[in-house]
Amino acid sequence: MFASSVAMPWSDAQAHTTVSIPKANPRAFPANFLWGAATAAYQVEGAVNEDGRGVSIWDTFSRMPGKISQGATGDVADDSYHRYPEDIALMKAIGLHAYRFSIAWPRIFPNGSGEPNEKGIDHYRRFTEALLEAGIKPFCTLYHWDLPQALEDKGGWQNKATAQRFADYAGYTSGKLADLIENWITINEMSTIVDSGFSRGRDAPGLKLGRKALAQIRHHVALAHGLGVQAIRTSCRSSVKVGSAENLRAITPVYNSAEHVEAARKAMVEENAPYLTVMYTGRYTDGYLKKLGADAPVFTPEELKIISSPTDFQGLNVYSASYVRAADTAEGYAMVPYPAAYPKMDSTWLSIGPESLYWVPKLAAETLGICEIYITENGCSTRDVVAADGEVYDTDRVMFLAAYLTQLQRGISEGVPVRGYFVWSLLDNFEWGDGYSTRFGIHYVDYATQKRTPKLSAKFYANLVTRNEI
């Protein structure tokens, strides 16, 4: 709390008495705001051949020559499968309220479906119990890109049957762990699954397909989300909460003027038509279908109803801004490209746009009627090194987080319904195609020894959590 000294003339005798009037801290977050960190199974667990785990598409993809930087794989990663007690201790030292992790589908159903692997369930039960014992609330993602290879061999996400297989897995797994886990996330980043895995070929399974095939895959993945929501509702007690985590097109007005803000509202709906918009409206926009023309996906009214099954919260993964300006076009907006010299972090795709963490949840809530939001990922890559004194001074990451969180607090103070924030990531880890060449963690990992070292950003984050203000 801040105090202000103001002269208040209570009476002639007290004409110039100075009194201290407490004021609310304008930088504070709500008292019940949830602070967390996030990871994903293939990126941190390792132990790919242990306790009955099956092969995933990332096991296969990472072994294809030239696909991953320096030929890296997630075979060991951070060895969190074995070292999770140490990782939970790191969370507790920061004071985290919550931890977002994912379950590896191949650990539960090694062949994608059929006979479940009880050793997989047993592992996640022990892990979740340890989280709860430490006072940390689990947020569980059911699919963070590690599709069982056995399903990929049957067509993977090109095959609509995979959506039902996901629902079977989601229902079984949530039913087994619902007594421990209240918050469930169906799928992480539907758009990345499709665009990077099936369009650009940069992620597993590494394909480059045409527009029609891509549109149909988008529909299958969205359908899997809807079927998964329904399966979780059927398998779990009524108090369980369900949502998804999406790296939506992070629409941000190029600057704050009435015309650009209105253009951004239109863009938020249209640019996110295949995922968030259909999930919250139950229809594909006319603009999206018109743009695809003959390449539009085949779907039924019943499938749209399934995709829009009601959820309890929406996770948003926000890294960079997608700037929009008003334009005299049919859409009423135009995207503004980044100039060549626009500043980036240590990834070519990670342009710096702190104001996105104000505008994205605000516009998503306003245009799609989303009532409860979590920032399920936000963070950055930097070139971290261990200094001579053993510390990691990632002042660039501290700058990034402070700038973004200032904008998030601005939105929350205006009533944007963001209930929590998960930094990406708890640990340096296997960063997909970049392997171990980029670092996103607030803890430095020496991959040769698996030693974890809190970076300056971890100390910044601990201070933020303790004070609950930016």
pLDDT tens-digit readout, 340-392: 999 999 999 999 999 999 999 999 999 999 999 999 999 999 999 999 999 99
What pLDDT, on the 0 to 100 scale, is given for residue 13? Answer: 38
- In the predicted structure, residue 238 carries a pLDDT above the cut 90: no
pLDDT over 90, % of the chain? 94
- In the predicted structure, residue 16 carries a pLDDT above the cut 50: no
Q: How far is C-alpha 69 from the chain's CA centre?
A: 23
What pLDDT, on the 0 to 100 scale, is given for residue 87? Answer: 98
Side chain identity at 88, as an amino acid letter? I
- Residue 434 and residue 347 in contact, taking contact as beta carbons nearer than 8 Å: yes
- Residue 468 and residue 28 in contact, taking contact as beta carbons nearer than 8 Å: yes
Lowest mean pLDDT among 51-60, 81-90, 232-241, 447-456: 232-241
What pLDDT, on the 0 to 100 scale, is given for residue 14? Answer: 37
- In the predicted structure, residue 266 carries a pLDDT above the cut 90: yes
Tell me how far apart the alpha carbons of residues 399 and 378 are, in angstroms, rounded to a whole number.
13
pLDDT tens-digit readout, 112-137: 999 999 999 999 999 999 999 999 99
Tell me how far apart the alpha carbons of residues 223 and 365 are, in angstroms, rounded to a whole number.
22
pLDDT over 70, % of the chain? 95
Active site residues: 189, 377
Instruction: Give the single-character DSSP code of 346.
Output: S
Contacts of 296 (CB under 8 A, 6+ apart): 215, 284, 289
**Which tokens sit at 234?**
């059927």
Question: Mean of the pLDDT values across residues 1-24?
Answer: 41
The structure's pTM equals: 0.94
- In the predicted structure, residue 5 carries a pLDDT above the cut 60: no
For the chain, give the mean pLDDT. 95
Angle, alpha carbons 172-176-182 (nearest 5°): 105
- In the predicted structure, residue 8 carries a pLDDT above the cut 60: no
Give the CATH superfamily of 34-467: Glycosidases (3.20.20.80)
Contacts of 375 (CB under 8 A, 6+ apart): 315, 316, 317, 318, 357, 361, 408, 418, 420, 421, 422
pLDDT tens-digit readout, 149-204: 999 999 999 999 999 999 999 999 999 999 999 999 999 999 999 999 999 999 99
Question: Mean of the pLDDT values across residues 205-216?
Answer: 98
- In the predicted structure, residue 45 carries a pLDDT above the cut 80: yes
β-strands 322-326, 314-317: how paired? unpaired
The closest of 323, 326, 360 to 257, measured between CA atoms, is 326
At what angle are helices 161-177 and 211-235 packed, to 10 degrees? 30
| Residue 396 neighbours by CB distance under 10 Å | 18
Residue 34 pairs in a beta bridge with 420
- Which of the four pLDDT bands, split at 50, 70 and 90, describes residue 6? very low
- In the predicted structure, residue 49 carries a pLDDT above the cut 50: yes
pLDDT tens-digit readout, 56-97: 999 999 999 999 999 999 999 999 999 999 999 999 999 999
- Residue 388 and residue 272 in contact, taking contact as beta carbons nearer than 8 Å: no
- In the predicted structure, residue 7 carries a pLDDT above the cut 90: no
What pLDDT, on the 0 to 100 scale, is given for residue 10? Answer: 31
- In the predicted structure, residue 19 carries a pLDDT above the cut 90: no
Tell me how far apart the alpha carbons of residues 325 and 332 are, in angstroms, rounded to a whole number.
9
- Residue 202 and residue 433 in contact, taking contact as beta carbons nearer than 8 Å: yes
| Residue 363 neighbours by CB distance under 10 Å | 26
Tell me how far apart the alpha carbons of residues 261 and 264 are, in angstroms, rounded to a whole number.
5
What pLDDT, on the 0 to 100 scale, is given for residue 23? Answer: 59
